[in-house]
Amino acid sequence: MILDNNFFKREVRCGFEIDEMMKRAWAAQMEVLTVIDKICKKNGLCYFADAGTLLGAVRHQGFIPWDDDIDISMLRKDYNELIQIMPQELPRGFVIAGMYADSERLRQAAFVPQLRVIADETLWNFNAYMQYFHGFPYQRVGIDIFPIDTVPEDKELADLQKYIIRSGIILLRDWAVLEKQQLLGTRLEEYEQLCNVKIPRNDGIKNQIWKIVDAVCALYEGEQTEEVSIYQYWINTESYCLKRQWYEDIVYLPFENIEIPAPRAYDEVLTRLYGDYMIPVQGMAEHDYPFYEHMEQELKRQIANSGFDGTVEEFCEKVSKGELYI
pLDDT in tens, 13-58: 999 999 999 999 999 999 999 999 999 999 999 999 999 999 999 9
Q: Are residues 37 and 140 in the same domain?
A: yes
Q: How large is the average pLDDT for residues 84-94?
A: 97
Q: Does residue 139 sit within a domain? A: yes
Q: Does residue 259 sit within a domain? A: yes
Q: Are residues 191 and 291 in the same domain?
A: no
Q: Are residues 68 and 169 in the same domain?
A: no
Angle at CA 103, nearest 5°, toward 98 and 104? 70
* Total count of residues recorded for the chain: 326
Q: Are residues 175 and 279 in the same domain?
A: no
Q: Does residue 250 sit within a domain? A: yes
Cα distances (Å, whole numbers) of residue 170 to 132, 165, 173, 210, 235: 38, 9, 5, 11, 11
Q: Are residues 22 and 143 in the same domain?
A: yes
Q: Is 316 helix (H, G, I), strand (E, B) or coil?
A: helix
Q: pLDDT for 175-190, tens place per residue? A: 999 999 999 999 999 9
Q: Are residues 315 and 207 in the same domain?
A: no
Domain count, the chain: 2
Q: Are residues 173 and 143 in the same domain?
A: no
Q: Does residue 203 sit within a domain? A: yes
Last residue of a domain, one of 173, 193, 212: 212
Q: Are residues 189 and 121 in the same domain?
A: no
Q: Does residue 231 sit within a domain? A: no
Q: Does residue 222 sit within a domain? A: no
Q: Are residues 72 and 36 in the same domain?
A: yes
Task: Write out the residue range of the structural domain in which residue 182 sits.
Answer: 164-212
Q: Are residues 133 and 28 in the same domain?
A: yes
Q: Is 117 helix (H, G, I), strand (E, B) or coil?
A: strand
> Of 13, 81, 25, 26, which Cα lies nearest the Cα of 256?
26
Q: Does residue 15 sit within a domain? A: yes
φ, ψ (nearest 5 deg) of residue 289: -115, 130
Q: Which residues pair with 262 in a beta bridge?
A: 251
Q: pLDDT for 139-172, tens place per residue? A: 999 999 999 999 999 999 999 999 999 999 999 9
Q: Which amino acid is at 216?
A: V
Q: pLDDT for 242-266, tens place per residue? A: 999 999 999 999 999 999 999 999 9
Confidence of residue 225 (pLDDT cuts 50, 70, 90): very high
Q: H helices then E strands: how many in the chain?
A: 13, 11
Q: Does residue 121 sit within a domain? A: yes
Confidence of residue 286 (pLDDT cuts 50, 70, 90): low
pLDDT at residue 284 in the model: 59
Q: Are residues 50 and 171 in the same domain?
A: no
Q: pLDDT for 97-115, tens place per residue? A: 999 998 888 888 776 778 9
Q: Are residues 301 and 179 in the same domain?
A: no
Q: Is 145 helix (H, G, I), strand (E, B) or coil?
A: strand
